[in-house]
């Protein structure tokens, strides 16, 4: 097996970009309204449909590249993943609507916080890394007072993936809309927008699809569009301008955007999505799963504790508790002395845990080398670890 040399960059996004993606971004600027940019948008839309696991579209302008033969369309959004989620939430709900947001980490909590700006929220807060109590969610849905359930599908802060299929089934039974923050799931682990009847979902370029930071996308079905349109026509829409969904929708058929698009970022992301197409979506899911399973088993065998519940550990990020006597000094030494980057924890877990990303185009060789360096760094901090065959875990 080829060895990985150079630094190891194992963070759960932004991830490293392929040279082809970087080269595409270095293309001389084109106008935002000409035919060349429409070609870029069409290619990007077709790649987005692939990453969202939707039916295909042609990467050609004037062919409705944002649509397919399912009920879903895709739309690129200038801004990071948060802008895409804000576009969904702010346009879809009226100030008087009530939504249900169960959370078990920082990004779910952010979804709840964002919803509070635009509508009423029932926020059910579980401990970070603990699976949702589906019985409790079902009891809530039985009340039939919720316009939608919103979840952070893959909780990057605590390394847990929600049981989206089970929640989707409940939402269908209680005729409640289901909305996903898929920012670190879409493109990296199995997401089935169509069969889960997801009304809208957001993804960020810089995560599982290894695109540039600062551009994101949403997918949505006709119900989402109809609701946003009705709310706007009734003049009940939340105050927003830049992220107005209906303005953007009107430009979709022409492969256009209402404001100046992130031209070079779109070029780079379209290329990154071509690389995803070449690898194959399921192959990417499988690679992410193989890398994360390897990391999880290796650290568990060495006596480390993982934060997330065993049955729902994420394929794109693993949250590992520091052993006694170790803190974030380990992480800075790992970066400075071992040229390997992982990420720390957020909020109350700061300094108590680290997170290893297994998304984007990360190779097995890089993960193996990175894990060896992590173990060496723990040893250099006085934490005893036996010699192990790291390769055998992958």
Ligand X SMILES: Cc1ncc(COP(=O)(O)O)c(C=O)c1O
Nearer to ligand X, 243 or 390 (CB): 243
CA distances from 386 to 205, 252, 300 (A): 39, 57, 13
Q: In what order do the strands lie in the sheet with 177-181?
A: 72-78, 215-221, 200-204, 177-181, 148-152, 98-103, 120-125
CA separation for the pair 34, 163 (Å, rounded): 44
- Least spacing, CB of residue 96 vs ligand X, in Å: 26
3-state secondary structure of 233: helix
- Least spacing, CB of residue 250 vs ligand X, in Å: 25
- Least spacing, CB of residue 290 vs ligand X, in Å: 21
Nearer to ligand X, 203 or 367 (CB): 203
Nearer to ligand X, 80 or 209 (CB): 80
- Least spacing, CB of residue 236 vs ligand X, in Å: 27
Nearer to ligand X, 152 or 307 (CB): 152
Residue 367 and residue 377 in contact, taking contact as beta carbons nearer than 8 Å: no
Nearer to ligand X, 57 or 103 (CB): 103
- Least spacing, CB of residue 66 vs ligand X, in Å: 21
Q: Is 324 exposed, middle or buried (0-12, 13-18, 19+ CB in 10 A)?
A: exposed
- Least spacing, CB of residue 385 vs ligand X, in Å: 29
CA separation for the pair 12, 359 (Å, rounded): 7
Place of tokens 């069409």: 42
Nearer to ligand X, 76 or 298 (CB): 76
Q: What is the DSSP letter of 28?
A: P
The secondary structure of the chain in percent helix, strand, coil, rounded to multiples of 5, reads 40, 15, 40
DSSP codes joined into one string, 114-144:
HHHHHSEEEEEEPPTTPPP-HHHHHHHHHT-
Nearer to ligand X, 47 or 59 (CB): 47
Nearer to ligand X, 113 or 133 (CB): 113
- Least spacing, CB of residue 265 vs ligand X, in Å: 12
- Least spacing, CB of residue 182 vs ligand X, in Å: 8
CA separation for the pair 55, 67 (Å, rounded): 8
Residue 202 and residue 180 in contact, taking contact as beta carbons nearer than 8 Å: yes
What is the contact surface with ligand X in residues (CB under 6 A)? Answer: 13, 80-82, 107, 152, 154, 156, 181, 183-184, 204
CA separation for the pair 38, 41 (Å, rounded): 5
CA separation for the pair 378, 322 (Å, rounded): 10
């Amino acid at each position: 097996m080829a060895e990985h040399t150079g630094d190891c960059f194992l963070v759960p996004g932004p991830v490293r970009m392929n040279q082809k993606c970087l080269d595409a971004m270095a293309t001389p600027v084109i106008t935002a309204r000409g035919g060349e940019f429409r070609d870029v948008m069409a290619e990007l839309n077709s790649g987005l449909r692939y990453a969202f696991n939707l039916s295909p579209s042609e990467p050609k302008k004037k062919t409705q590249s944002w649509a397919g033969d399912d009920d879903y369309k895709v739309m690129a959004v200038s801004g990071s993943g948060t802008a895409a989620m804000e576009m969904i939430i702010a346009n879809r709900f009226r100030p008087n609507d009530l939504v249900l947001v169960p959370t078990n980490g920082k990004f779910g909590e952010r979804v709840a916080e964002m919803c509070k700006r635009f509508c009423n929220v029932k926020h059910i807060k579980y401990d970070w890394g603990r699976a949702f109590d589906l019985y409790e969610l079902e009891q809530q849905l039985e009340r039939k007072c919720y316009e939608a359930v919103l979840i952070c599908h893959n909780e990057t802060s605590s390394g847990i993936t929600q049981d989206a299929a089970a929640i989707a089934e409940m939402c269908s039974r209680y005729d409640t809309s289901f909305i996903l923050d898929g920012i670190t799931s879409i493109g990296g682990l199995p997401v089935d927008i169509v069969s889960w009847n997801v009304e809208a979902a957001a993804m960020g370029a810089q995560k599982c699809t290894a695109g540039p930071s600062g551009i994101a996308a949403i997918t949505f079905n006709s119900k989402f569009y109809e609701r946003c349109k009705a709310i706007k026509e009734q003049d009940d829409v939340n105050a927003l301008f830049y992220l107005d969904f209906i303005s953007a929708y009107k430009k979709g058929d022409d492969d256009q955007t209402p404001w100046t698009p992130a031209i070079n970022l779109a070029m780079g992301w379209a290329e990154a999505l071509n690389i995803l197409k070449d690898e194959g979506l399921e192959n990417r899911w499988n690679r992410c799963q193989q890398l994360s399973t390897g990391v999880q088993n290796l650290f568990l065998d060495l006596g480390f504790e993982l934060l997330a519940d065993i049955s729902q550990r994420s394929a794109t990020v693993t949250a590992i508790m520091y052993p006694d006597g170790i803190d974030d000094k380990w992480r800075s030494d790992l970066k400075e002395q071992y040229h390997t980057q992982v990420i720390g924890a957020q909020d109350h877990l700061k300094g108590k845990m680290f997170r290893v990303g297994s998304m984007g185009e990360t190779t097995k060789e890089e993960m193996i080398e990175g894990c060896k360096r992590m173990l060496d760094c723990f040893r250099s901090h006085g934490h005893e670890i036996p010699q192990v065959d790291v390769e055998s875990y992958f």
